[in-house]
C-alpha cells in the first residue's frame, strides 16, 4: 500500500509543507533575515524579533509557526551576524530549524549599500505516525522520524538605502528527500528562490507609504507572489493590506510603542476553496531593538 494517508497529511497545508517548503509569513518584511542572510545587521542596531503564526484556524492539522531571531552589525566593521530559530508544525510533522547568518556590506554610494550573506542551517524533522489513521497500521513504510538531522547552506544579496530595498536569496541549496518509495518522494525539501523589494514614499511630513513585493519560486510548485502596501503615520502607527496571488488577502497593523519596541498583527483570509473549512490565519510579532548613543535614530526604519 502506498502511504496515501501520510501523503495527504503533508499536502494538507497547501502552500505550507509539501509545496511551500519554507514557513510562510504575511509580514515577511519584518522577518527578512529568515529568508535572506544578507539582511543581518542591515538595520544598524541589535534587533530581536519574535513571531507566532496560526494558519487556517479551525482546520485540523493546519500549520503553526513560531519564529525567533536576533541580528546585529559588528561595530567598526562591515560585518553583520544573526541567529534564528523556527518551529513549524503541520499535522503529524514538526520541524525545528536553527540558522546562523553572516553578512558583509559594501557602501556603493552615499545613499546605497550592497550586502552579501551566507546562511548555515541545522534542520530537525520529526514525524509521529501515531497521529495518523492509516488503513494498514503495520505498513513498514510508515515509521517515525525523531529529530532527523539534515544540514544546509544558503546565500543572498541585499541592496538597500533608507527608502529602497531589493533582495535575492536561496536560503537552502541542498535538497532533502524523506519517505522516498519507488522514486516517488512524499516529502522533499526543494530550493526556494526569493525576490523581494520595496520603496518608501513620503506622502506628507507625517505619512509614509511603502509598496512592497515578495516573489517565491519552487520547482514543481506555482509561482507565489505577495503584494503589499503599508502606511506609516506619525512615525508610530502602521496599517496596510496585502494580497497573495490565488491564495489569500491580508490586513496588517503595527504600533511603535517606544523607540525600541514595535508590535504588529496580521490577518489572512483565504481566497481559495479552502476558505470553506477555516476562519483565516493570525500572525503576531514583537521586535525589540537596542540602541546606543552612536546608533540611535530619530526616525524608525520602515523595513
Query: Reduced to 3 states, what is the DSSP secondary structure of residue 131?
Result: helix
The band of 246, judged by pLDDT with boundaries at 50, 70 and 90, is confident
Q: What is the pTM of this model?
A: 0.85
* Average pLDDT score over residue span 95-117: 96
Spell out the domain ranges in the chain. 26-290
* Average pLDDT score over residue span 63-80: 94
More confident residue, 301 or 297: 301
CATH topology of domain 26-290: Porin (2.40.160)
pLDDT tens for 217-230 read: 987 778 899 999 99
* Average pLDDT score over residue span 211-238: 92
Rounded to 5°, the CA angle 253-303-89 comes to: 65
pLDDT given at position 6: 39
Share the mean pLDDT of the chain.
Answer: 85
CA distances from 267 to 65, 182, 280, 299 (A): 14, 41, 7, 27
Distance CA 97, CA 101 (A): 13
pLDDT tens for 259-299 read: 899 999 999 999 988 888 899 999 999 999 987 655 555 45
Amino acid at each position: 500500500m502506498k502511504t496515501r494517508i501520510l501523503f495527504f497529511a503533508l499536502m494538507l497545508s497547501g502552500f505550507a509543507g509539501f509545496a511551500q517548503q519554507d514557513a510562510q509569513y504575511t509580514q515577511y518584511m519584518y522577518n527578512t533575515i529568515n529568508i535572506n542572510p544578507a539582511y543581518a545587521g542591515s538595520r544598524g542596531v541589535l534587533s530581536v524579533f519574535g513571531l507566532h503564526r496560526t494558519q487556517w484556524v479551525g482546520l485540523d492539522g493546519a500549520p503553526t509557526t513560531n519564529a525567533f531571531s536576533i541580528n546585529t552589525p559588528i561595530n567598526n566593521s562591515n560585518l553583520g551576524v544573526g541567529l534564528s530559530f523556527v518551529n513549524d508544525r503541520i499535522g503529524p510533522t514538526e520541524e525545528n530549524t536553527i540558522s546562523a547568518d553572516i553578512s558583509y556590506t559594501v557602501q556603493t554610494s552615499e545613499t546605497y549599500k550592497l550586502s552579501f550573506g551566507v546562511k548555515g542551517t541545522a534542520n530537525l524533522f520529526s514525524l509521529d505516525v501515531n497521529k495518523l489513521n492509516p488503513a494498514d497500521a503495520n505498513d513498514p513504510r510508515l515509521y517515525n522520524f525523531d529529530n532527523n538531522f539534515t544540514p544546509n547552506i544558503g546565500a543572498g544579496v541585499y541592496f538597500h538605502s533608507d527608502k529602497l530595498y531589493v533582495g535575492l536569496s536561496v536560503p537552502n541549496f541542498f535538497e532533502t528527500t524523506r519517505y522516498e518509495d519507488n522514486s516517488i518522494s512524499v516529502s522533499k525539501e526543494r530550493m526556494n528562490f526569493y525576490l523581494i523589494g520595496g520603496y518608501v514614499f513620503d506622502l506628507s511630513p507625517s505619512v509614509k507609504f511603502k509598496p512592497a513585493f515578495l516573489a517565491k519560486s519552487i520547482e514543481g510548485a506555482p509561482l507565489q507572489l505577495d503584494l503589499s502596501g503599508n502606511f506609516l503615520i506619525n512615525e508610530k502607527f502602521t496599517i496596510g493590506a496585502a494580497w497573495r496571488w490565488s491564495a489569500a488577502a491580508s490586513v496588517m497593523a503595527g504600533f511603535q510603542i517606544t523607540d525600541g519596541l514595535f508590535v504588529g498583527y496580521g490577518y489572512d483570509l483565504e481566497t481559495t476553496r479552502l476558505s470553506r473549512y477555516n476562519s483565516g490565519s493570525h500572525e503576531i510579532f514583537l521586535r525589540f531593538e537596542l540602541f546606543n548613543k552612536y546608533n540611535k535614530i530619530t526616525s524608525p526604519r520602515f523595513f
